Amino acid sequence: MNLHSKFSHAGAVIAGAFLGASLLAPAAQAQSRGELLYATHCIACHTTEMHWRDKKMATDWVSLTFQVRRWQEASGLGWSESDIQDVARYLNETIYRYPPMVDSVTRLGAPPPARAAAPVSSR
């Protein structure tokens, strides 16, 4: 075996080892944007116990969204409406389980409903 083939063989063994390790390693769970924002900006003060206390401020989807908006404003985070909805959705899916409200602002990814045209008067 010459020097070139020894290096080729060693490279193939190393590449195979990395490939095998990556196939055996568990896939990392993708985090939602809401979870990332919450983990980055909120979890230091708002632990899970905060959400389960008797006097919690969020009692439905509307109040949950309101509280997320309120606290991001108080913290000066400057989140977009989409960020607020993502964090509220993350909290709702993992903790609260309130039925989400669907309105023109929080369509949950759906396009707005088509509006019927008003009848035209013939006068």
Model pLDDT for residues 23-37, shown as the tens digit of each residue: 454 545 678 999 999
Quick check: 86 and 33 in contact, CB under 8 A? yes
This prediction has a pTM of: 0.57
Q: How far is CA 50 from CA 19, 77, 96, 98, in A?
A: 43, 20, 12, 17
Model pLDDT for residues 39-62, shown as the tens digit of each residue: 999 888 877 666 665 667 889 999
